[in-house]
Amino acid sequence: MKHLFLLRHAKSDWDDRALDDFDRPLSRRGQAAVSLLTAYFRKEAIRPDSIVCSPARRTRETLAPLLDLFADVPVLFEKRLYEAGTTTLAGLVADLPERADSVLIIGHNPGLQRLALLLAEAAPRSPSHERMAAKFPTGALAELTAGPGGWRDLGAGQWRLTGFTRPVDLGGTDD
C-alpha cells in the first residue's frame, strides 16, 4: 500500500513586491499554520519514508519545523516542483523510489490541487473531496492512499483521498 501526502506551502509574505517569487518567505500567518501542521503530523503519527520539496524559500520554510519530527527522513529538493503542471507532477510521483511506501511532497498550486484531483478522480466524492476541489489553500494537506502496486503503476483514478486538512481545520485561518 502506498501513501502520498501533498502539502501546499504555507502562506507567503508579499510585503516586498520587488522580491522574486521564488525567494518569498512565509508570512507570520504562514509560520503559525506550519506550527499547527507540525502538531497535526505529530498527533496523527504521519511519518513519511521520504520527502520531496520544492527548493523555493516558502516551501523550505514550510518543511523546516517538520524536520524536527523527521530528522532521519531523506529530503530531496526537486526543482521540477516549482511551477509544475500536472504532467510533471505525475511523472515525479511515478519516479518515486519503490522502497518508500509513504512520501510527503511539498509544493505549489495549482499543480498540487490538479494532481490530487487527477489521482483521485475515480474515487467516490466525499465532503473532503468537494472541499479540495473547491479550494486547495496554502498550508492544506491532501492524503491519498493506493495499492497494491508501485509508484509507476499507480496513476490517475487509482488513488483514494483519505484526508484533506486545511489550517482552518486545525484552528488557524484560511486564505
Give the integer Cα–Cα distance in Å for 167 and 170. 5
132's CB contacts (< 8 A; 6+ apart) are 113, 116, 117, 140, 142, 161, 164
Q: Supply the pLDDT for residue 100.
A: 95
Question: What are the structural domains of the chain?
Answer: 2-170 (3.40.50.1240)
Q: Supply the pLDDT for residue 149.
A: 82
> Under a CB-based contact definition with an 8 Å cutoff, are residues 53 and 78 in contact?
yes
Q: Supply the pLDDT for residue 131.
A: 93
For the chain of 175 residues, list the mean pLDDT of each consecutive stretch of 10. 96 89 95 97 97 98 96 96 94 93 97 94 80 95 90 86 95 77
Q: Supply the pLDDT for residue 25.
A: 96
- Number of other CB atoms surrounding residue 129 within 10 Å: 19
Question: Quick one: cell of 107?
Answer: 509544493
CA geometry: angle 101, 96, 41, nearest 5 deg: 50
Q: Supply the pLDDT for residue 123.
A: 63
Going by their DSSP bridges, the two strands 141-146 and 50-53 should be labelled as: unpaired
Q: Supply the pLDDT for residue 60.
A: 98
